[in-house]
Amino acid sequence: DQDGEPPTERPIDELGGSTIALIRSQPLIVLVSDVAGFTTLSERLPPDDLAQVIGAWYARCEEILGRRGATVDKFIGDCVLAYWTKVNPETVGAAVHAARELIDACSQIDTDKSDILQMAERNFHAGVGLHTGKVAYGGMSQGEFTLVGDPVNLTFRVEALTRELGH
C-alpha cells in the first residue's frame, strides 16, 4: 500500500440480523461514470429503446473496465461505480486510460445507436470522475457489497463537476 498502511479487515456483527460480513479498509482508486442527460433520454425514449442504449453502455463499461483491471462494484441506473485495489503508478495509469476509453466509447454508442438517439434529439456522452483514497468496502448489508468513505463521495462530486465544466 502506498501509504504504508496494510489493509485492515474486521468482521461486522449483525448485518440484517444474522449475517457476519468482512469489511476491508484500504486505499483504492475509485471511478464513477454517469451518462449525461439520462433523465431527458428516459423521458423521450420508449423503455425498450432506452434499454438498448443503456445496455450498450453497460457492455462497454464492463469490457473497458475489465480489460483495465478494475472491479465493477455496481451499475446504479445510468452510472457505473468501479475500483482498483492497488494504488501504484501502473494502476493509476490503467484507471486514467479506462476513463479516457469510457469517454471515447460514448462516440461509438452515439454512432451505433444513432437512430434511437435521434428520436430523443440527444447525443450520448458521459462524465467520468477518478479519485484515490482510503475507503471501507465489503458486505454492508445482507447481499449488498459496496464502498463507503469520503473518497467515494468525492469521486461522485468530481464526476458531477463534468456537467458544470462541460468537459
Say whether pLDDT at 28 is over 70.
yes
* Contact yes or no for 36/127 (Cβ under 8 A): yes
- Supply the pLDDT for residue 11: 53
- Residue 105's alpha-carbon distances to 16, 37, 57, 108, 150, in angstroms, are 39, 16, 8, 5, 28
CA 14 – CA 73 distance, rounded (Å): 23
Say whether pLDDT at 20 is over 50.
no
Say whether pLDDT at 6 is over 70.
no
- Supply the pLDDT for residue 15: 46
Opening angle at CA 90, ends 85 and 94, nearest 5: 75
- Supply the pLDDT for residue 143: 67
- Supply the pLDDT for residue 16: 47
Neighbour tally for 106: CB within 10 Å: 20
Q: What is the pLDDT of residues 56-99, one digit of tens each?
A: 999 999 999 999 999 999 998 899 999 999 999 999 999 999 99
- Supply the pLDDT for residue 21: 62
Opening angle at CA 66, ends 62 and 68, nearest 5: 125
Question: In sequence order, what E strands does 7-166 have?
Answer: 8-15, 19-35, 71-76, 79-84, 126-141, 144-148
Q: What is the pLDDT of residues 90-127, one digit of tens each?
A: 999 999 999 999 999 999 999 999 999 999 998 999 99
| Residue 83: strand, helix, or coil | strand
| Residue 79: strand, helix, or coil | strand
Compute the average pLDDT of residues 41-67: 95
